[in-house]
Amino acid sequence: MRRDIYTPDHEAFRRLARDFIDKEVVPNYPAWEKAGQMPREIFERLGALGLLGTAIPEEFGGAGLPDYRYNAVLQEEAQRALVTLGTVRTQIDVILPYFLEYANAEQRQRWFPGLATGQLLTAVAMTEPGTGSDLAGMRSTAVRDGDEYILNGAKTFITGGLLADLVVVVARSSTDPDNRRAGLTLLVVEDGMPGFDKGRVLEKMGCKVQDTVELSFDNVRVPVANRLGEEGAAFGYLGHNLPQERMTVAVGSVAQARAALTATIEYVKERKAFGTPVASFQNTKFELAAMSTEIEAAQAMADNAVLELVDGRLSGPDAARVKLFATEVQARTVDRCLQLFGGYGYMMEYPIARLYTDARVARIYAGTSEVMKVIIAKSLGV
Ligand SMILES: Cc1cc2nc3c(=O)[nH]c(=O)nc-3n(C[C@H](O)[C@H](O)[C@H](O)COP(=O)(O)OP(=O)(O)OC[C@H]3O[C@@H](n4cnc5c(N)ncnc54)[C@H](O)[C@@H]3O)c2cc1C
């Protein structure tokens, strides 16, 4: 179906992204998967091409175009090439908005140029070993001591934590017995600060090119100058930025489902069973038709929400609806595609197997499908 959310500028950006991904990502991807991370240099190459700093103001080396559609194009192009750029996506779609929204003038001078060039890599640390979905339940503490906070606690499942120079940590700076959501603060912890440790790199079933690590904070002295926004206001900041984080997952899910379908159509035309192409069976045709229909429905929903996000009007419940639907369409599609590949679909040398393992987490991170349903139900007044 025709899509009309992009302008010629986005399409020019798409050509740049496509060329970069085809030449610099696809050939190296298997090696990065083995290494369990993307090399630092790839961020600097992306930065040099202007692919990281579109939303960063021009005075700091960015393009001054705070338009989420550029981020969406980058993701679509990665999925089209059957790769994922998880850590890049976290940096520009999830973490950069916190800096853009809440950094003060001094912090902008200090951090924005490095964020635009890809010389400063970031991670965001909300989840803890004891709490993920229930963000207000986090136990890490930030106790004010003069011009510093003393940070203690542990975080887990942190994307890009291994290479991160700056980690945006959410910690509790005060407790209000009547309001669990009050008292959370965002602190930017720098690599190398005494007491800050990067722990185990976790072994995952998919998304192998993005590292996922545990982090620990043992009496880390974080200057007040590294606080993003107001003390105690972080829950509101998370609520403000989570719709974009959820859209990011949704946009990637639809694009990945589409890429899986394209790869499957090619495969079933070639592969023969009982002397005839697998594509000739009515079951195959029906499966492909059903998948294509679901993908178009998810695409229309996601495109509509992308425009709402760009206009600053996307509500939390609507972002939750799109994430829920897009990730479930992705899961169904990739599973059905794998089935059509038969035994080869189960072999890691065929990309469909990787898409299958990569896809699973989309219904978990950035808020689980169940949490999306809780948010949607609340908006229905139940
Ligand atoms: C690969 C990967 C990368 C990640 N990257 C990051 C990152 O960079 N930074 C970060 O901070 N976090 C990150 N996360 C963490 C992720 O956001 C959490 O895993 C997710 O929010 C779920 O939290 P949890 O794992 O603690 O599950 P839990 O909260 O323990 O949930 C367990 C189960 O209970 C269900 N459940 C929970 N609450 C409810 C409810 N109210 N009603 C019904 N069911 C409920 C959940 O849906 C789930 O099925 C990452 C996770 C993964 C797997």
Contacts of 32 (CB under 8 A, 6+ apart): 38, 39, 208, 209
Residue tagged 């898409």 (tokens): 355
| pLDDT at site 356 | 97
| pLDDT at site 192 | 97
92 CB near ligand 1 (under 6 Å): no
* Residue of 91, 95, 126, 133 best suited for mutating to test ligand 1, as the one with most atoms within 8 Å of CB: 133
- pLDDT single digits (tens) 37-63: 999 999 999 999 999 999 999 999 999
| pLDDT at site 358 | 96
Contacts of 275 (CB under 8 A, 6+ apart): none
124 CB near ligand 1 (under 6 Å): yes
374 CB near ligand 1 (under 6 Å): yes
Residue bearing the CA closest to ligand 1, atom 50: 157
Gap between the Cα atoms of 350 and 356, Å rounded: 11
Atom of ligand 1 nearest to the CA of 161: 8
Average pLDDT over residues 170-188: 96
| pLDDT at site 93 | 95
Residue bearing the CA closest to ligand 1, atom 6: 158
Query: How far, in Å, from the CA of 365 to the mean position of ligand 1?
Result: 6
Average pLDDT over residues 18-26: 97
- pLDDT single digits (tens) 207-229: 999 999 999 999 999 999 999 99
Report whether 168 contacts 158 (CB < 8 A).
no
Q: pLDDT above 90 covers what percent of the chain?
A: 99
| pLDDT at site 220 | 98
Among 45, 49, 77, smallest CA distance to 63 is for 49
- pLDDT single digits (tens) 317-329: 999 999 999 999 9
Query: How far, in Å, from the CA of 204 to the mean position of ligand 1?
Result: 15
Q: Is the full-model pTM beyond 0.85?
A: yes
357 CB near ligand 1 (under 6 Å): no
In the Cβ-directed half-sphere of 289, how many Cα atoms lie within 13 Å? 7
Gap between the Cα atoms of 200 and 158, Å rounded: 11
| pLDDT at site 64 | 97
Query: How far, in Å, from the CA of 90 to the mean position of ligand 1?
Result: 16
Residue bearing the CA closest to ligand 1, atom 24: 132
Atom of ligand 1 nearest to the CA of 202: 1
157 CB near ligand 1 (under 6 Å): yes
| pLDDT at site 369 | 98
Residue bearing the CA closest to ligand 1, atom 40: 371
The residues annotated as belonging to the active site are 245
Burial class (CB in 10 A: 0-12, 13-18, 19+), 240: middle
Gap between the Cα atoms of 274 and 254, Å rounded: 33
Gap between the Cα atoms of 72 and 361, Å rounded: 19
Contacts of 39 (CB under 8 A, 6+ apart): 32
Angle at 120 between CA 118 and CA 126, to 5 degrees: 115
pLDDT, averaged across the chain? 97
Gap between the Cα atoms of 60 and 82, Å rounded: 33
What own/partner pairs with CB < 8 Å and gap ≥ 24 does 374-377 have? 375/316, 375/317, 375/320, 376/317, 376/320, 376/321, 376/324
197: helix, strand or coil? strand
122 CB near ligand 1 (under 6 Å): no
